[in-house]
Amino acid sequence: MKNALTFSPLDGSLHISDYAVEIGPNLTKAQAYVAFASFHPTKVDHGNGYAWLTLHGMNLGGHPCTISLGFFGERLERVHWGVELSDAILEEGWPTRETSEKEIQFVRTHLGAVFQRSFRKGEETFPWGVAWSTFDSKGFSASSGLRYVD
């Protein structure tokens, strides 16, 4: 499937099919801006060293997916993603709690298969960092991603 997002269980890096650039802790902000320009990225620089690059048009397990690359300085520190399930229910444009819980379960199942971990508690720690999929009660939405260690 075009622009499929996959994970490496060895180092937590991500790959987008048909793109040679690996998304991992060695990816710089400048490299990402050039490599993923075709995804019409949204750039947000907070002016405090943190900047985000959001890419649209990928899929995770066959479902539309958006990823956000979080940089501190030039270093990729974390990656967040959201998945649009086909049976998603929205209220005033926002996913319901039930929809968020379905997304979380889908992502946990996907991550569990890739990383050979249960993700029952929503988060797993690895030598390269942490991967999670949980409900963010403050944002009232699914929160999935990974964070690389220094």
pLDDT in tens, 42-86: 899 999 999 999 999 999 999 999 999 999 999 999 999 999 988
In the chain, how many domains are there? Answer: 1
Task: Count Cβ atoms within 10 A of the Cβ of residue 133 and give its class: 0-12 exposed, 13-18 middle, 19 or more buried.
Answer: buried
pLDDT in tens, 91-142: 887 888 999 999 999 999 999 999 999 999 999 999 999 999 999 988 888 9
**Residues counted in the chain:** 150
pLDDT band with cut points at 50, 70 and 90 for residue 1? low
C-alpha–C-alpha distance, residues 111 and 92, integer Å: 30
Identify the domain containing residue 76 by its residue range: 5-148
Query: Collapsing DSSP states into helix, strand and coil, what is residue 92?
Result: coil
pLDDT in tens, 99-109: 999 999 999 99
